Every structure is written in structure tokens, then in C-alpha cells.
Structure 1
Amino acid sequence: MWHGVKSFFHVIIVFQCVLFVLYLLGYKDIRKSSKWLLMLFLIMTALTELGGTLSHFLELRTILIDRAPLSLYAYYPFKLASIPLIYLYIVSLTHKDYTFKSNHLLHFIPFLTVAIYIPIKFYSLEPSIAKTLVENRTLLEGLDYDIIKFAEFFQFYIYAVLSIILIKKYRKRIKASFSTVDNIYLSWPYIVIWGLICWKTLRMTDYLLYVSIEEIDIKILYLFYIAGEIVFLIFISLLFLKGLKQPNVFFGIIEGTSKGKYEKTAIPEIQRKSYENKLTQLMEEEKPYLDPFINIKELAEKLSFQTHHLSQVINSSFNKNFFDFINSYRIEESKRLLTKYTPQEKTVLEILYDCGYNSKSVFNTAFKKQTGLTPTQYREKATMKVA
């Protein structure tokens, strides 16, 4: 029964991965590098799951042992190709001009090592012995199996950590250039990484229980394995549904324009003070912060400043990054409107749109960070003072 259940999940995941790849092939308006890296990840995943299918369909397994025994181990190397592909996919999302380079092939050394080692071991044995080992599922056992599994898990978590660090750095960089980050905040790659972490952690738990407890109930191992498959199935389903609704989420992440605080020559103090005054005047008179999509480049053009000069003025004179600087004005404007209008005259939702926000959650977070209160609490407190 358990073999049948595992096979069912393998088949469903293979089907979804193939369907997803076909969908991506038909989608043209995207970054080619991101598209192909994501597609290759799905293909490697499908091949890995297909290997699981071959292992658990007993009738098919019997046929393959007689005709092509090595095919039952062909999927092992693909496990070591998936996570580098996801890492490079995230690199492509966070770097506008990303291109695949020859040195990126170094990421696939573990994949190539296992892909070469398995056939070498198989053909180094007598055919009858090799076939028997495959039939007994012991071609890779003991130290061989443990090393491959260790490489699989170690590689996965290393790349997962590197991916999270990369996303965090990019999120920080984005704030230096954009005033609205709810739609470019890279929540998408976080979903990808944490979804994979949940799945792989269940797989690792299954393996650790297997090697550490000699007389463990096989049903427990099957439950962890199937739980991992369910998590991965949900993950792939969410990817596909997200792609159908918002295909640009896979490839449309905006590249920030700011590369650092002071990469250019620092402006003189007198000039900085003049820039500060001009900036303050513009913010108070023209209120550019009411534009939900204002970014540092556009604001610099309004002031006839160099972008890096404006960044330096905001950092040095106001001790803020661009995101916090713009939002400080938006919050002050929202406070004014919350005090001026009653809930019947203007709702909180209407006010947040009037102040340059297009996300209620982002507005609430920013407002509470600056005031210590939610917008509703602030309005109630202001009303009580007036009364």
C-alpha cells in the first residue's frame, strides 16, 4: 500500500512540473536567464520524482532490472543539481544584467561527480553481481549512500542560507532607491526558499530516523516521506497558481539603482546644506511623496540633482534611507488627515491611498513604526483630545 501511495505523489509532482515547464515555454515576455533556470529546476525535479516512481512501481521496476538496471539509479545526480539552479535563479532575479557564465558550472561539480561515480561503480562489478545489487537496492549502500546523502543535505542548506543572505541584501538595497516596496520586496524568492526548506527538512528527518534508529517502525519513515511529498506538492501547486495569476512575479523584480551609500565623491558641506533646503522645500510644496511609485531617480530629476548626491543628502542630513525618508512624510500627511476627517468622511483605507500608499499592510506597519499606534488607535486618541 505504502509503495502505491508514494508512487501516486511522485506521478502527480512529475505531471505538475511538466505542465509548469510547458507553461513557461509559452510565456515570452520574461528574462530568458530566469526562465531557463526555473525551467531546468523543474525538469531536474521531475526527473528526480520520476526516479522515485520507477523505484516504487514494482512491476516496472522488475522489467527495468532485467533490461536497464542502471536506469533505477539515474535520478540520483539530479538531486544535486536542483538547489544550485534555484540559487542561480534567485541571483538572476536580484541582478538585472545577470547572464550565465562558464564559472557557474562549478556549482554543478557535486552533480557531475555522482553522475560519473554511479556508472563507474556499476560497470566495475561483474554483471550478475551488479544486477543483484540493483535488485536488492544496495548498489549504493553504507559509506557510498551516506556520503551522497550528506552532500545532498549539506549542499541544500548551504545554498539556502546563501540565497536568504542574497535576498536580505537586495531588500536593503531596494530601500535606498524605492519608496514603495510591497510589490518589489522579494517576498517571492523567500516563498520559494522556505517552501523548499520545509520539504527538505522533512526528507532529512526521514533519513536521520532511518540511520539512527535500528528498529524504527517503517510506517513512521513512510509518513515523513509522504509528508515531504505533500509539502512539495503544495509548493509546486502554489508556484503554478501564482504563475497563472501573476506571471511577472517569476521574472519582473526591479533592480535597484543605488549600489551603496557614498560610491561617488562626497559633496561639499555648503552644497549639501543647499541641497537639503531645496529638498525640504520641494517635499513641503509639491508633495512628491504622494506618488506611490516615486523613486530616487525621479526625485533627483525633479531637483536637478545627481542621484548619488540626493542619496547622500538623505543619508547624512536626515539619517534615513530613501524609503524611510519618503514614508516619514507620508505618515505625517496621514496623521493630518486622520485628525482632520472623521471615519464617516474618510476611512483609513481612503487616507492611505491619498497619502501615497497602495498596500494597507505596508501602511499599518510604517505608521505603527513611527507613532507606536495603529492608524485607528491614533485617530481615536486624537478624537479624545479634541473632545
Structure 2
Amino acid sequence: MIRYLAVLNPLYATLFWAIVLTIGTLRINRAKFMLGVFMMVAFFLYLGHAFYFTRNFQIFTWYEWIYTLTSLAVFPMYYHYIRLLTVETRLKPSDLLHYLPGLIVAVASLFLIIFMGPINRLAYIHHLEHGSHSFYLSGNPWIDAYQMLFLLSRLIFGIQIFAYLVLNIRLIRLHKENIAQYYSNPEELNLNWAQLMYIFLLLTSLAGFIFNALGRSTFLDNSVKLLIPSFIFSVLLFVIGYLGNRQDQIVSQIVKLDEMYPQEERPENEPNNVVLKLEEYFTSEKAYLNKDLKIWEVSKMINSNRTYVSGIINKHYGMNFCTYVNHHRVKEARWMLETESFDGYTLEHIGDLSGFGSLNSFIRAFQKETGITPGKYREDRKVRKSDQSFAQINT
């Protein structure tokens, strides 16, 4: 009973999210659909575990090539999931190259099983029963070749962990830079949760490495021990699915806004006009007080387009859109903090009145521009005023 509970838990977790994330999401959120496919691949991966730990070695022998393929598809799929969230509305045929190493190793292992013959297959099954991942030369060239393929698959898997970690970090960093060009309040669109998901994925892989190093045979005859990796994998995969299910496809939002605010050619003599209109819109109209201000709305109000306005802000002010808007918000907040009539207002209220979406974003932006927190800024003003009053009295 305990053994079946252990092998079924990861299957339940992955199959649940595979169904939830794929049904009806292909057209409206390809990123979520991709995560659903990722969960389905994980389901087939853990199905291989189920065959092994329930001692269905004959089935597992024919299934192991699928196990190899799915294990080497995990990190490329997560990378493509993040790309669909941030920079692409759909994947290209060339993206399939990421899955080529796993496919080659998996097909090679399938051919070995097919052509090794029934006697060698029985020898391999006996090898599985006594520690499938303890490497030693058996003297049987077929089994030794299979062993070499397994080592190659683990080497590729190890390279994938570090390679895709770098690629995902770069992608998330680029995403943060891009959304700062479009949104004045990009906090909700930041992918800190995606980094958390990747940490969970790394923890899952690390756990897999540890359990592989111990050898699957370690858990083969001990159902209680088997519950440990089963519980860890189930929880980590469930959290990945839960976090991913809450996230919309960010790049699709940008595409929709571009469609709502069409880009038009701008005349060559327009830069100065755009700067003047931008200054007027932000100083007179106080556009920055809109917490959800987007560059598309600004472009429409000054009769320009998103690309042009973004370029002007970058070149003329040396800032991205988010920093430019926050510069005006900080200026507004400084005026309030220097005015005695606002002394009864909390910092959160002042940040809200200045256009910031949260107290944390207010403090970060204020400190970035002035070098001190808004609370310290207010205290310094009170100290200066007290010193001035004391000096006047002495005079």
C-alpha cells in the first residue's frame, strides 16, 4: 500500500496540472499551455519511476527510452515556457533543436533494446533488479553500451541544468528591462515568481541527482524510504503548477496594446515637439499620478507612438519609461514631505497620492533618486526647520 502511494503521488500531481493547464489555454495563453505540456512530460517521466519501483522491469525495459527522452526535455520546456511568457507569442520550428540531444540518446537506447535480443534483455532486467545505476563493466557489450548511454544522458542533464539556468536568468533580466520601457508600475509583471519556480525545479533536479547517486535499488525494497523522494517531488511539482496557473502571458498583453494603439511613421523633425509635449503632459496634466500609466496611453495623448516615445525618453533623459515616470512621482512626493500640512500623512498615503502603486515601490524609487528613504527625508526636513527656528530665537 505504501509503495503504491509513493509512486502514485507524483503522477497525481503532474496529471492534475497537465489537465488544468492545457484545457482551453492553447489559443488564449500559449505559455500556460506549454507549462501543461511540461507537466504531461513530467507525468510520463514519473510513470517510468512507477514501472521500476513496482518491479515491472519487463515493461520498464521497453519504456526506459521514453524515461530518458522526458528527463532531457524538462529544462528546455521550462525555458520555452518562460520565452512564451515574455518575448514570443509562439515558438519557432528551430526551437525543436533544444530537444535533439535527448531525442538522439532516447532513440539510441530504443535501438539497443530492440536489437540486443531476448537473452541480453533478460540479462539487462537482472541488472535492473540489482542496481540499475551502479556503473560497472559487465562483460556484456550490449549492457555496457546501455550503461554508457545512461551516463551520457546524465551528463547532458547536468549540462542542461547550468546552461538553462544561465539562459533563464538572462531572459528574466531582459524581461525586467523591457517592461520598464512600457509600464510605470511593472511590479505585477516582474517574474520573481518565475525565478522561484526555477528554484523549485532545480531543487527537484538536485533531489533527483541525490537519489540517483544513492541508486534506485536503495529505494526498491524499502517503501518507507521511497516515500521521501515521492513526497518531495510531489510537493515541488504541485507548487510549480500552482504558481504557473496564476500567471498570464505577459507578451500577449504587449501585443494587444500595440494593436489597440497602432504605430505610425513619425516625421524627422518631431523629436523637439515630442519632448515639449511630454514635459507639458507630465507637468501640467500630472500624468504620473495614474498608478497604471502605460507608455501607449502617453503616446496617444501626445499624438506619437510607443516606439518613438520610448526612444526619446531613453536618448533625451537617459532613462527608461518607468524611471522617467517615477522621477516625476518622487518630485511630487518630495514636495509633500517638505510641506508641513502633509506631516500627518503616512508615507504609504503620500506614496499613493504621488502615483506609486505600493509603499515598497515608493521607498525603492525615492531612495534610488535621492539616496535616502522618504522617512529619513522627512526627519531631516524637520531637523533643519528646528535648527533654523533655534537660530532665529538666538538671533
Range into which the TM-score falls when normalised by the shorter chain: 0.7 to 0.9
Superposed, 1:73-152 pairs within 5 Å as: 74-95=66-87, 98-137=89-128, 138=132, 139=143, 142-152=147-157
Give the structure 2 partner of residue 214 of structure 1.
Answer: none
Distance change (3 Å), C-alpha of 1:311 and 1:35: closer
Superposed, 1:1-387 pairs within 5 Å as: 10-26=7-23, 31-57=28-54, 61=55, 64-65=56-57, 69-71=61-63, 74-95=66-87, 98-137=89-128, 138=132, 139=143, 142-204=147-209, 232-242=233-243, 247-252=245-250, 254-255=253-254, 267-268=268-269, 271-340=270-339, 345-387=344-386
Which sections of structure 2, spanning at least 5 residues, go unmatched?
Answer: 133-142, 259-264, 387-395
Q: Deviations over 1:24-75 (max 9, x none)?
A: 2455596342233111100111111222222223xxx1xx335674235542
Q: Deviations over 1:234-288 (max 9, x none)?
A: 4323234446xxx451434543789xxxxx88944xx533432332222111100
Distance 1:231 1:363 in 2: 38
Write the letter of the residue equivalent to 2:67: Y
Write the letter of the residue equivalent to 1:144: L
Distance 1:175 1:67 in 2: 52
Question: Secondary structure in 2 aligned to 1:286?
Answer: coil
Distance change (3 Å), C-alpha of 1:53 and 1:317: same
Distance 2:199 2:59 in 1: 40
Distance 2:202 2:311 in 1: 39
Which sections of structure 1, spanning at least 5 residues, go unmatched?
Answer: 212-217, 259-263
Distance 2:320 2:344 in 1: 34
Query: TM-score normalized by structure 2?
Result: 0.79
C-alpha displacement of 1:344: 7.0
C-alpha displacement of 1:374: 1.9
Distance change (3 Å), C-alpha of 1:302 and 1:65: closer
Distance 1:29 1:121 in 2: 37
- Bigger drift between 307-316 and 227-236 goes to 227-236
Distance 1:36 1:28 in 2: 5
Question: Secondary structure in 2 aligned to 1:294?
Answer: coil
1:51 and 1:73 in contact (8 A); partners too: no
When the two chains are superposed, the root-mean-square deviation of aligned CA atoms in Å is 3.4
Distance 1:320 1:99 in 2: 30
Question: Secondary structure in 2 aligned to 1:377?
Answer: helix
C-alpha displacement of 1:80: 1.2
Distance 1:227 1:289 in 2: 52
Greater radius of gyration (CA): 2
Distance 1:204 1:353 in 2: 48
2:266 and 2:304 in contact (8 A); partners too: no
Give the structure 1 partner of residue 262 of structure 2.
Answer: none
C-alpha displacement of 1:122: 1.3
Give the structure 1 partner of residue 261 of structure 2.
Answer: none
Write the letter of the residue equivalent to 1:366: A
2:185 and 2:291 in contact (8 A); partners too: yes
Question: Secondary structure in 2 aligned to 1:182?
Answer: helix
Q: Which has the higher contact order (CA 8 A, sep 6+)?
A: 2
2:348 and 2:358 in contact (8 A); partners too: no
Give aligned-pair identity as a percent: 20
1:70 and 1:122 in contact (8 A); partners too: yes
Distance change (3 Å), C-alpha of 1:151 and 1:280: same
Question: Secondary structure in 2 aligned to 1:379?
Answer: helix
Distance change (3 Å), C-alpha of 1:344 and 1:15: farther
Q: Deviations over 1:291-346 (max 9, x none)?
A: 11111121121112233332233222212111111000011111222333578732
Give the structure 2 partner of residue 261 of structure 1.
Answer: none
Distance 1:229 1:351 in 2: 50
